Structure 1
């Protein structure tokens, strides 16, 4: 399996994955879905579908945009894949396609309850793919990554990075949470394994690093990389929640939504994909991945 078509190849994940696979002797070709020419036939051994409308955290995008791009375009691409000679289809969905909040740990078999147009649009695409009979000789994967990060992509880490860099104390240390992250190096490794190992069966797979980290852990890691003393302050939760209510009314940065995002649990299990590959650990720990990403912020 040498010729790999990648949609969304110009994005953060697409660029990293393209470089990674090219360095391992795969022939990687970007597949643009911006014009209708791609419907004339897919000439590749595998298709990795990354293109989509990303989650808009400011909630200003129209719901229809998510469904037009994330759902309908995926349906069209998948239909053509089923009729093509391509042997492998990898669809990048999201953990948000099944759950916006995770009280315990997220496994693949969880009942889907997306809470946003983004999550619902991804879930509708998943349901369509899963409803189709897969021809003999083909494999189909739905990948659900959690928060992806890496050099060149600050993502949600940017807020915490700036807090630590400016020497501002982190006031939410009294909250303990556990979150999953996904370093780009581990993501690349997992995709390579799927491409190379035909024994890995079609299915839905979560992608995440092995370890869970608390937001306090992340602050400590950022402080370590910046060679600063971590300033974790344990203000009582009742006081923080009172300040958040004021923030809700006055539009201060520290409001209920911000606190929820910084302190909630979001644990994602990667046991299924590791079991399918036959490994106990991914190449990089969650801490190693975060340290690499944080170092790249400094070098910019």
Structure 2
């Protein structure tokens, strides 16, 4: 196999993906803003003028992870324009140059936020009408649509993957904060939360991306991915507490009361992510690619907690 270009190679998913490719003997170039490893290509800032030509040399497949990710405290005056510059314009610049360089397959890692923030009574499917609720999800949807139109005329094979929350060793942000709270022993008010949420372990997402590189049925597909094991927030706390050797301390606070309290302090969006449901129907992906998540959720959570505890000790 010729080289695979992985953009966003220094990120949470990208760094692990590159290491997996290298360990399996797959030639890889990792695109980053500032070069820090021998296999890296320094792309600089991502925009409609980024020159990818050197990185695309002798590449047969691109896995495009680089993006302006969801920002909790937005500082840009025009958030949608800021997201579009990276997630749409830079993506299309890469796609056009990839096709011109003879790249056969382009794998775009999008987001379940294209579907929306809450799945309601039925799990999200790729066939659902897009319903993004924020500028990040909007930009990812626009990138998908423009890539699909380009693939139809260029002949380059396109695969779109929409992951939900990704966790694993090295995870940060809200997932790390949840582990810190559980380790602290403080009671958490999630005992009465009966929601259902889909997530995907880092190893499972990487495994699917590698399948997408070569599977003959992947081109043209929009693939939703998860661990195929949905959990409530309360169940997630229990599953994280177990490898810490702690008992989950959960208080049965009514969700309606927590939502009122969150709204009073301007945290309704954060409350929705903890209290609401976001389920994914991964069955179509499994059928199409004959794929199954190789790592069970509890095993992946154990690995995540072990890495978290090791970093605290070091």
TM-score (norm 2): 0.86
Match of 1:230 in 2: 248
Aligned counterparts, 1:23-172, within 5 A:
23-31=23-31, 32-34=42-44, 36-39=50-53, 42-43=56-57, 44-61=59-76, 62-63=78-79, 64-103=81-120, 104-132=122-150, 133=152, 135-136=154-155, 138-172=156-190
Match of 2:275 in 1: 263
C-alpha distance after superposition, 1:46-97 (max 9, x if no partner): 1111111010022333412111011100111111222221111011111112
76-85 or 103-112: which moved more? Answer: 76-85
* 1:268 partner SS: coil
Change (3 A) 1:8 1:19: same
Distance of 1:51 and 1:238 partners within structure 2: 37
Match of 2:14 in 1: 14
- Alpha-carbon contact 1:173-1:234 (below 8 Å) kept: yes
Matched length: 292
* 1:230 partner SS: coil
- Alpha-carbon contact 1:82-1:134 (below 8 Å) kept: no
C-alpha distance after superposition, 1:155-174 (max 9, x if no partner): 32123212211111111211
The yes-or-no answer on 1:288 pairing with 2:265 is: no
Segments of 5+ residues of structure 1 without an aligned counterpart are none
Change (3 A) 1:299 1:120: same
86-95 or 193-202: which moved more? Answer: 193-202
Change (3 A) 1:299 1:174: same
* 1:127 partner SS: helix
CA displacement at 1:239 relative to structure 2: 4.2
* 2:74 partner SS: coil
Distance of 2:207 and 2:256 partners within structure 1: 43
Distance of 2:178 and 2:60 partners within structure 1: 41
Change (3 A) 1:21 1:174: same
- Alpha-carbon contact 1:4-1:45 (below 8 Å) kept: yes
Distance of 2:217 and 2:261 partners within structure 1: 54
Change (3 A) 1:237 1:147: closer
Higher RCO structure (Cα 8 Å, ≥6 apart): 1
Change (3 A) 1:244 1:11: closer
CA displacement at 1:242 relative to structure 2: 4.8
* 2:148 partner SS: helix
TM-score (norm 1): 0.90
CA RMSD of aligned residues (A): 2.0
- Alpha-carbon contact 1:107-1:269 (below 8 Å) kept: yes
C-alpha distance after superposition, 1:199-218 (max 9, x if no partner): 43322111211110111111
Segments of 5+ residues of structure 2 without an aligned counterpart are 32-41
- Alpha-carbon contact 2:107-2:212 (below 8 Å) kept: no
- Alpha-carbon contact 1:4-1:29 (below 8 Å) kept: yes
Distance of 2:25 and 2:256 partners within structure 1: 56
